[in-house]
Amino acid sequence: MKLLSVLLFIFSLCVACSLPPEKPFTKEQLYKTGIYTYFTVDDSPESVLSAINKDGEVVLNAKYRNRDVWIKLLGKLEGITVQIIEK
């Protein structure tokens, strides 16, 4: 019984990590993050918005000053959160 309750708890945590937002994000909110200003992003803004509004998060391949990076966008209640990860 304990094992089942632990597994359900872990499953609920994993599912809660990336849920679609209650209110869809707009292009203005995406542009406020500055990713298209400071980085060279391969994906179009429309495809990024579609992914973040569907899944709640998206990871993008990008370049910053000839360095490859990943950009992780998370959709939260406060807005879109940006995390930069070097490859």
Query: Is residue 75 left, alpha or beta, with left meaning phi > 0 and alpha meaning psi from -120 to 50?
Result: beta
State residue 20's pLDDT score. 76
HSE on the CB side for 44, CA within 13 Å? 3
Q: What is the pLDDT of residues 25-40, one digit of tens each?
A: 999 999 999 999 999 9
**Cα separations (Å) of 22 from 11, 39, 48, 54?**
21, 28, 17, 10
Q: What is the pLDDT of residues 44-76, one digit of tens each?
A: 999 999 999 999 999 999 999 999 999 999 998
| Selected residue with higher pLDDT from 84 and 77 | 84
